[in-house]
A and B are shown apart, each in its own frame.
Chain A
Amino acid sequence: MNLSHEWLKAFVPHALSAEQVRDLLTAHVATVEGFERLRADLAPFVVARVIETEKVPDTKLSFNKVDDGSGTLLDVVCGAPNVTAGAVYPFARSGTLMPAGFKIEKKKIRGFTSNGMLCSAAELGLGEDQAGILELTTDAPPGTPLLDVLPLGDVRLVLDVLPNRPDLLSHLGVARELSALTGVPLRGDDAAHAAPAVPVVREAQQASSGGATVRLEDPAGCPQYCGAVIRGITVAPSPSWLRERVEAAGVRSINNVVDVTNAILHGLGQPMHAFDLATLAEQTVVIRRARASEKMKTLDGVERALTPEMTMIADAAKSVAVAGVMGGENSEVTDATRDLFLEVAYFDPKRTRQTRRALGLSTDASYRFERGIDPAGLEYAMRAAIGMILAVAGGRLDGSVMAVGTAPAPRPAVTLRPSRVRAVLGASVSGAQCERYLASVGFAVARKGDAERVENEGGDAALVVTPPSWRHDVTREVDLIEEVARLHGYDKLPDTIEAYRPTTVPDHPLFAASRRVRDALVGAGLAEVRPMPFVKGDDATHWRVTNPLAEDEPHLRVSLLESLARRAEYNLSRMHGDVRLFEVGSAFGGREQGAGRGAGAGGLIEEVRVGILIMGARSPRHFADGAPPMIDAWDAKELAERAASAAFPGAAIALDAAEDPALWSILADGRSVGVVTRVTLDAPVWASAAFGIEITLGAMPLAYVSQPGTSAHAGERPAIAPPASAVRYRPLPTTPAAAFDLALLVPDGLNAAEVERVLRTSGGDMLESLELFDEFRGAGVPDGMRSIAWRLTFRHPERTLRDKEIDGRRSQLLKSLENQLGVKPRTA
């Protein structure tokens, strides 16, 4: 909402600066987020006093000594006839840029140096010249900025009005607040639109006056409608005061009639419309629903398709306006217009909102109707409009104002207990104070009877508060508490940390798991990313966003690797091939199992997962080493184990071979929790192979915790499970170990894991560890075989193993391998 500082002062003649108004509104009402001096170009001008003046014979010129507050008297030549010693004038020092666009330079005139210019009203862009330069009546010392002494520089304040306070969408509404905050009374009738007393005919459905008829056929869409006929006007440019007001509000000046309607909208918050009466068939106005497949061209020149859900203003034959949104081109006021039909109405907020959305057409009017205007303010706005139009466009009111519809019911009263104010704010505000605050912004306050006063702890009687007609937002006690809080001032309320009791809520396990995995992966040299979850997916497998922002990525990902692959490609396209990324985020599955399209998203399964993508060099290059090898599947396997261990502490992690393109599926205590896979990228030839890991940390249930209005806990504190202690101490060995290596010829098709299984079962209790340390194909190894070597470490818990025992164990192992797998040692 654009506010004019000067316009506000017309409502509340306060003595505050625009900065003070800004700070007051921000502290107590709504945030002023913009502050713009409309005549900022006058900022460099100062007040200057002429000390001596001397006429130059035979010219209009005078030589003057001028005090501009700088401490040195300046020589200034002036061509105006009215220069008077001792008087003060607006002064432009040399270097000042004039509103007309030229710069004041130091120059010589008839051998006399001129160091600046004494200015006239026209030169400052302030209207017509009177008697030459502009003589100022001020006590301000020379050097004072001109804007400080002349009310020239109106200031535009941009107020951030939130949806609960549509009453602030006008100068009147903001002036009410300023009046409450400053104690300066609100001026009922601003001189600019003195509202004349006019006769009113009130009817429920239909009224006629001044030769026109108003018929209300859609009272649901339009509970109240006022019309008036003005004849014999002259459409012309607006006078400057009116033009300045609408321009200060950020609206382009059109002509005197349209500008009045805008001045009423921005001044009083009541949108209104003026029709050219001559264009209305039978001089009749009907408020009705649009007809099926009806069309109308709005004022912006666009042909609009209408639906019967929309409320229209029509004449006897055709629609002439979309109610509350925009007028029609067919009834527009033009320079030729002589007679007007004025409309001031209350259109239903929800109806206006639906129409605005259906048409995709938001206007200053629809914005206010949608949020709710003051339903009790129509007749005042109409009288003000009539007064202004007669003043700026001439003409006369023909007949009475026709008011059709039903007057709004008074708002229900709300009870306010001062004890509750204390309970919510933590501050003691007395009932009398509350009453003062509420009354200052238009609430009617009464005190409850004595009986109830006694019941009230603290002795403060409860207040019965009736909100004013323009405050739709106040329906509960807490709404009144907010009024008290903001009028008292948030900054004046106390701040104390109350002693608190411990929360009943344990940390969410998925948060804890995410942190553990993140720490492990950062420690492993990976970078955390937080990409968008939108992907180019497939309707059969992916959930589609109903209203996606980008048609090329309308789906939610089913796997984090989808996002990570795109991010890897982004880096490859920037010639960066060492990519080690991970993300902890949500994946959205269940589309395939879910019901068909349009049957709702009930089958959606949201899982919190960790996704990892690695490619490029295994380590940074170092001069002492050769080029580092590229990341391969074995790096991915180890990283997967590390991440899974962090995700599921204490669980037995296993990686089982999986089908292409996956490499392994990841198991935690036998449950499948993720996958290691090769990742296919749109990659340049120099890029190395990419590997992906994805682990599901857990599901994020979508279900209702319990029915709306109920809780699942019945006030009981739920038991909190103690953390599982993952690590059990194993006694440290006190006896020496004995180890030997076995290099075995393993035929293709036989897994290392199979061999290890035999080694473990035949190795007995004393086999402490089994380390696969070499794989080899080539010289000395027959085709169709590979040599795999293990180091086996044995230890007896109580004594040193003898060489003979070790040799025996070795022979036994070789025999088992031969018998069970047909595997022989490499050097047998």
Chain B
Amino acid sequence: MASRRPSRNAGGPTQGFGSPLTLAIALDFTPAVTRRPAPLTVSRIPRMTLDEFKSAAESLRADGPAQIAAAATLEAWTDARNHLVGRTSGRLSELMTALGTLPKDDRREAGQLANAVKQELEALLDARHAELMRQQQRGPAIDRTMPGRAAWRGSVHPVSLVIDEVVEIFRELGFTIALGPEAEHAWYNFGALNFPADHPAMDLHDTLYLDDLVLRTHTSPVQVRTLQQYPPPIRILAPGNVYRADPFDASHAPMFSQVEGLVVDEGITFADLKATLTRFANRFFGETKTRFRPSFFPFTEPSAEMDVRCGVCKGTGCPVCKNSGWVEILGSGMVHPAVLENAGIDSERYTGWAFGMGPARTALARHGIPDIRILYDSDVRFLEQFAR
């Protein structure tokens, strides 16, 4: 057997085709016609009759298979091969040598017989060798019930998983990703978005302040920043963190994520809003029904909440949907012309729609997480549940 030299990068990839071992074997099986007969000395040539020759060949044909089958290791296989068909001392080579001593008329018949035996034996040897190779590659027997060698698995946060999915779906619809600051000017957070100063609409947003800045209460400021920076056509998605002065409890957090969407171009209509968001819902939740309800946001008009059929009760009413059969998914509406004007966009020529959704709620519902604080605790035992 060919010796296995330690590879330079020992411990690297396991050896495959082209390794010294397989090459050596292949060389041994170059077709017989290309081999030069071994030099022989006349005195040692046995003389045989055709019958003797036939008898010897048949005897080889009868013994060979058992010997080959008995070779349990590659070493034993090599011995068997040398003994049976080895070029110098094998029984077949003895026959071949004797062939030359037969009368000329008998040689053809004898030669054909010897060749047939040789081919049979070589086929068996090949098969046995392949079998032994398979055995060797399988290695020693192992207890296959024991565990594999693990590596640490990373995980994406469940809220990010939802954002990822939303992003992927809207990418199919031609959206790109825009971002904006979390510490924001009050004008971008409120004034530009058509919030009247000192109005109850502001009470919908319990705001955290940073001196003269605010921690943005929604991702909608990205709408105005984007509209000021890029001309229509606009199709963007703006994921990000937003802040509310809500006490941290099982269902509220003072910081949470939101995904904003904005479309502005000529000819954008409420029909487009309905169809696009319904398509999103069907991609995100599987085939479902949507419903649009009148709502109010200072920066959209008309404004609409989109509900989808409750996935738990399929619309018959259950505690999850508070017996309404519908689950609220997002707020949306046609971009208020005042918002376009505040961003220096011609509100007569361009129309648009926008929406905002909270991926954390979806993550809680999707994974059955009972308390929103779990999303922030960063408990490794929780995060590992999302390992990939």
A contact set with B: CB distance below 8 Å: 26-31, 33, 35, 162-165, 350, 353-354, 370-371, 423-427, 476, 478-479, 481-482, 485-486, 490-491, 493-498, 500-508, 510-512, 518, 521-534, 543-550, 556, 567, 570-571, 574, 576, 578-581, 585-586, 588, 598-602, 604, 606, 608, 619-620, 622-625, 700-702, 704-706, 708-718, 739
Chain A residue numbers with a CB within 8 Å of B215 are 545
Q: A423-B267, A500-B174 are in contact. List 18 more A-B contacts (CB 8 A).
A: A353-B200, A479-B301, A481-B301, A490-B293, A491-B291, A491-B292, A511-B177, A525-B152, A530-B159, A547-B209, A549-B208, A550-B248, A601-B211, A622-B150, A623-B147, A700-B182, A702-B185, A710-B228
B376 in contact with A426 (CB, 8 Å) = no
A490 touching B292, Cβ below 8 Å: yes
Which of B43-51, B65-73, B133-141, B340-348 lies at the interface? B340-348
When A and B form their complex, which 3 residue pairs have the shortest distance between CB atoms, in order from nearest? A426-B269, A525-B152, A426-B271
C-alpha spacing A354/B378, complex, angstroms: 41
Q: Is B183 an interface residue (CB 8 A)?
A: yes
Contact between A504 and B182, CB atoms less than 8 A apart: no
Q: Which of A370, A506, A545 contacts B210 (CB 8 A)?
A: A545
Given known A500-B174, A523-B154, contact A508–B179 (CB-CB < 8 A): yes
Taking the closest CB of chain A, its distance from the CB of B182, in whole angstroms, is 5
Taken together as a complex, chains A and B put the C-alpha atoms of A402 and B152 apart, in Å, by 81
Could you tell me if B147 and A712 are in contact, using CB atoms closer than 8 angstroms?
no
Is the Cβ of A504 less than 8 Å from the Cβ of B384?
no
Q: B230 contacts which of A548, A586, A718 (Cβ < 8 Å)?
A: A718
Query: Is the CB–CB distance between A522 and B154 below 8 Å?
Result: yes
Binds A, one of B13-21, B29-37, B232-240: B232-240
Q: How many A-B residue pairs have CB under 8 A?
A: 326
Q: Tell whether B279 is near chain A: CB-to-CB under 8 Å.
A: yes
Q: A501 contacts which of B146, B247, B265 (Cβ < 8 Å)?
A: B265
Q: In the bound complex, how far is the Cα of B225 from the Cα of A529, in angstroms?
A: 28
- Whether A527 and B380, one on each chain, are in contact in the complex, defined by CB atoms closer than 8 angstroms, is yes
A504 close to B231 (CB less than 8 A)? yes
Q: In the complex, A199→B238 CA distance in Å?
A: 61
> Which of A478, A602, A706 has the most C-beta atoms of chain B within 10 angstroms of its own C-beta?
A478
Complex CA distance for A526 and B173, rounded to whole angstroms: 32
Q: How distant is the Cα of A425 from the Cα of B333 in the complex, in angstroms?
A: 11
Cα distance, A510 to B184, chains bound together (Å): 17
B183, A482: Cβ atoms closer than 8 Å? no
Name which residue of chain B comes closest to A487, CB basis: B294
Chain B 159-191 near chain A by CB (<8 Å), digits 1 or 0: 110000000000001111111111111010001
Say yes or no: is B157 at the interface (Cβ < 8 Å to chain A). yes
CB-defined A-B contacts under 8 Å, sample of 23: A31-B295, A164-B296, A370-B200, A423-B351, A425-B271, A479-B301, A481-B302, A482-B302, A490-B304, A495-B274, A497-B272, A503-B174, A503-B233, A527-B157, A534-B255, A544-B210, A545-B210, A546-B210, A549-B247, A571-B379, A708-B192, A713-B231, A715-B231
Shortest A355–chain B CB gap in Å is 12
Q: Does the CB pair A586–B271 fall under 8 Å?
A: no
Least Cβ distance of A475 to chain B in Å? Answer: 10
For residue B219, which residues in chain A have a CB less than 8 angstroms away from its CB? Answer: none
Chain A residue at minimal CB-CB distance from B182 = A586
CB distance from B265 to the nearest CB of A (A): 6
Q: Given A527-B383, A702-B181, A482–B271 Cβ distance below 8 Å?
A: no
Are A713 and B229 neighbours in the complex by a CB distance under 8 Å?
A: yes
Chain B's nearest CB lies how many Å from the CB of A414? 13
Q: Is B254 a contact partner of A619 (Cβ separation < 8 A)? A: no
Q: Counting CB contacts under 8 A, is B198 at the interface?
A: yes
In angstroms, how far is the closest chain B Cβ from the Cβ of A593?
15
Total interface residues on B, using CB and 8 Å? 114
Q: Give the interface of B toward A (CB within 8 A).
A: 8, 146-147, 149-157, 159-160, 173-185, 187, 191-192, 198-201, 203-204, 208-213, 215, 224-236, 239, 241, 245-248, 253-255, 257, 263, 265, 267-272, 274-276, 278-279, 291-296, 301-305, 322-323, 334, 336-338, 341-345, 351, 375-381, 383-384, 386-388
Residue of A525, A576, A625, A713 near B381 (CB, 8 A) is A576
Contact partners of A546 in chain B: CB under 8 A? 208-211
Query: What chain B residues lie within 8 Å of A532 (beta carbons)?
Result: 248, 253-255, 376
Chain B residues in 8 Å Cβ range of A504? 230-234
Write the nearest CB–CB distance from B348 to chain A, whole angstroms: 9
Residues of A near B268 (CB, < 8 A) are 498
Q: Name the residue on A nearest B181 (C-beta).
A: A700
CB < 8 Å neighbour of A601 from B183, B204, B274: B183
| Cβ-closest chain B residue relative to A617 | B152
Q: How far is the CA of A528 from the CA of B213 in the complex (A)?
A: 29
A424-B334, A576-B381, A601-B213 are known contacts. Are A704 and B341 too (CB-CB below 8 A)?
no
Tell me whether A547 and B294 are in contact (CB under 8 A): no
A571 to B382, CA, bound (A): 11
A500: B residues at CB distance < 8 A: 173-174, 233, 235, 263, 265
Residues of chain B within 8 A (CB-CB) of A544 are 210
Closest to A160 in B: B295
Q: Are B294 and A486 in contact (CB under 8 A)?
A: yes
Chain A residues whose C-beta falls within 8 Å of the C-beta of B380 in the assembled complex: 527, 571, 576, 578-581
Measured CB to CB, the closest approach of chain A to B178, in angstroms, equals 6
Q: If the complex has contacts A31-B305, A424-B334, A524-B154, are A26 and B378 also in contact, measured as CB distance less than 8 A?
A: no
Smallest CB-CB separation from B266: which chain A residue?
A501
Minimum C-beta distance from A597 to chain B (A): 8
CB-CB nearest in chain A for B191: A708
**Cβ-closest chain A residue relative to B152:** A525
A522 touches B247 (CB 8 A): no
Q: Are A528 and B201 in contact (CB under 8 A)?
A: no
Closest chain-B Cβ to A495's Cβ sits at a distance in Å of 4
Nearest neighbor of B149 in chain A, beta-carbon distance: A622
A424 and B278 alpha carbons, distance in the complex (Å):
18
B272 touches A716 (CB 8 A): no
| Nearest CB on A from B116, distance (A) | 46
B155 near A620: Cβ-Cβ < 8 Å: no
B378 A600 Cβ-Cβ under 8 A: no
Would A570 and B377 be within 8 Å (CB), given that A350-B198, A500-B174 are in contact? yes
